[in-house]
Amino acid sequence: MNSIFNRHIYFFLAVLLCFSACRPSPVVSDEKANSRYSIYIMGRDGKEYLLETNSLDSGVIVPEQKGAELDVKLIDRSVIVRNGYYYHYERKGASFVKYIVEGRNLNVVSATPLQQFSIENYQWLGGDTLLLTGLSTPDFSHVKYVLLNAVNMKKLAEGNMQIPAPSGRFDSMSIGFVKPQNDKLLVGYTYHQQLSTSDYTTSDTTYISELSFPSMKLSGSTKDIRSTYPGGINTVQSSSFTDEQQNYYFMDCPGLALGNRPELPTSIMRIRAGEKKADPDYFLNFSAAAGNHAYGMWYLGNHKAIVRAERKDLFKGLGDHYSTPHFEFYITDLQTSVIKKLDLPLDKGTRRECVLINKDVAYISVNSPEEGNFIWILDIRTGSLKKGLQLAGNTDFILRIDKLR
Amino acid sequence: MRCYATYIYISLQLVIKGHTPGIMKVNKDLIEKYHRQECTEEEAEAVEQWLFSAESDEALQLPVNEEKIVHKQDIWKGIQGILPEEPAPVMIRKMSFGFWSGAIAASLVTGIVILGTHQLMQSKDRSFEQMVTLNNTSSVNVRHVESQEYNVSIGTNTSARIDNITGIVDLSGSMMISPKEDITLKFEGSPEKITFKKGQTYVILKGKDGKDKIIIVSEKNLMDLPPVLQKQIINEFNI
């Protein structure tokens, strides 16, 4: 609603970019250079902060005292974090921007123009090559991609992916995952139909297409009707991974917060190493096991994953889905389908990048109005849980925890 | 831009009858001249005085004994006569680089809101002003309106009926609201009263079908909505 203000900010950003392009590489202090983790905070007053820290194991951080306050008109939680830098698609500025935290400021390092794009998925393709997959805007009906070098932010390629546009009753689509497989790409997606201003539905089908790389030509597609809405927007929350045997696992999320086909089960599906379709013999029905839908999945290793599940008995609808503490975390055995709830306070926030695996430890951020905002530490071998770093002060939501370097 | 200013001027002429601020009479020709940057210093000053004066609001006040609803209907009829089929976009946000046009737009919007909605939320002592209707029949443009209490963006194909006495809002479509003070409203289809906090922006969605659930979220939590709805809102309200 503050368009005049926004316009000034964008002008300022443009000027900043000009200066950034001419200046030498940013100087990072020794303290910052040591920071291994990044934390993205939303405050009670709507302010947002990025914090960098070397430890998640203990202590207290007050974001308004230590963090870089963010311009929420320019940036949101949908960031890609790698090697000390933050990457974010600036929708209004139509550019993909690389940032660094210097002192208590988030500064622009460089940017590359990227127009009429809506990011659905990012994928590192070895080294510093980043593949962004998204939809054309404003129609959200064509799949676009950009391949770029994240060091110098130069585009290597861009164009359309040859994936069928929505047709019939469907008017938009979602790209749920992009997975390099052999010398090709597998893309998981589905289609949506807007029913009214406040209601929509999703096709009952999970689509997986195989594309040649880098030409992005379609070489085959499969349909799977066991569930729908594969993956999710992975700049906001993870929902897929590759195991030690190079098998790829992804969630299908038909619940209220993604597919809005609640009669279908949240499930975990698998694409075997080298294959190009979902394994017809593998279907982990998470809804049947937990009695609820889930969104978000992180791999612990040894065929176990953490799944973040909602509690339908505790929220009323989308209006309070994010603000009511109702989320639970389950350790899910991918081989036996046995799930075990972790003894954590109920968590709030519909979609968050809230789990970070570091060798034998899983850091789990939990936003509990009663017990506080903590990073909990799960010992993967023993299953023991304890509180680690506390985010205090203005903190309302820990929206992300990332490995910074 | 000039066409826009002209349209605004014509619209204002319909509601500000015989308005003559300052010494010099500000008329259509003078405003157009101003936009062509051909005004003398004296003429420019007169236009600027007119822009900054609060008289557009004063001019909209009607004699106590007159039925405002009648005036409202008459004026809207008059305005509709010169408007294209779709309501012309009243895009405060889009006009920021043209400050003067923005100022005129703000005056017009304020005028329309105050006149067209009968002083939104202010007239609890006047029974005929109990119901206020905000409509946007455009399928393309959002209407931005401003009152003393809040800024509202009315989404495409949206109608909102507000009962000023009970605080009940019957919404069909989408709107964004930024209160200037904390306000409490109750929406048809939602069992609870909702307090909207000063300085925050809220998105409210409600389908035309009575069975559709209402969705009310703070703009800062937009990323928690399903991506399908997020995209719809981002597109519609250009946020």
Name which of A45, A171, A174, A197 to mutate to probe chain B: the one with the most chain B Cβ atoms within 10 A of its Cβ: A197
Q: Which of B221, B226, B234 sits opposite A258 (nearest CB)?
A: B226
Return the bridge partners of A332, or none. Answer: A305, A339
Distance CA(A121)–CA(A93), nearest Å, equals 19
- Indicate the Cα dihedral angle B81, B86, B89, B90, nearest 10°: 50
Rounded to two decimals, the ipTM of the complex is 0.87
A9 vs chain B: nearest CA distance in angstroms? 13
A197 vs chain B: nearest CA distance in angstroms? 5
Neighbours of B99 (CB within 10 A): 11
| B125-239: in CATH 2.30.29 | no
3-state secondary structure of A18: helix
DSSP string, B166-192: T-EEEEEEEEEEEESS-EEEEETT-SS
Are the C-beta atoms of A83 and A139 separated by less than 8 Å?
Answer: no
Name which of A198, A256, A295 to mutate to probe chain B: the one with the most chain B Cβ atoms within 10 A of its Cβ: A198
Residue A192 touches partner B, C-beta closer than 8 Å? yes
3-state secondary structure of A330: strand
Look at the block and give the residue holding tokens 């601020």.
Answer: B21
> Do the chains contact at A196 and B226, CB–CB below 8 Å?
no
Residue B192 touches partner A, C-beta closer than 8 Å? no
Residue A194 touches partner B, C-beta closer than 8 Å? yes
Q: Which of B176, B205, B225 sits opposite A197 (nearest CB)?
A: B205
Name which of B156, B192, B221 to mutate to probe chain A: the one with the most chain A Cβ atoms within 10 A of its Cβ: B221
Distance CA(B164)–CA(B201), nearest Å, equals 21
The stretches of A35-185 forming alpha helices (DSSP H) are 63-66
Tens place of pLDDT per residue across chain A (405 aa): 344 334 443 443 343 333 333 343 444 444 456 799 999 999 998 899 999 999 999 999 999 999 999 999 899 999 999 999 999 999 989 999 999 999 999 999 999 999 999 999 999 998 899 999 999 998 888 999 999 999 999 999 999 999 999 999 999 999 999 999 989 999 999 999 999 989 999 999 999 999 999 999 999 999 999 999 999 999 999 999 999 999 999 999 999 999 999 999 999 999 999 999 999 999 999 999 999 999 999 999 999 999 999 999 999 999 899 999 999 999 999 999 999 999 999 999 999 999 999 999 999 999 999 999 999 999 999 999 999 999 999 999 999 999 999
For chain B, residues classed under CATH 2.60.120 are 125-239
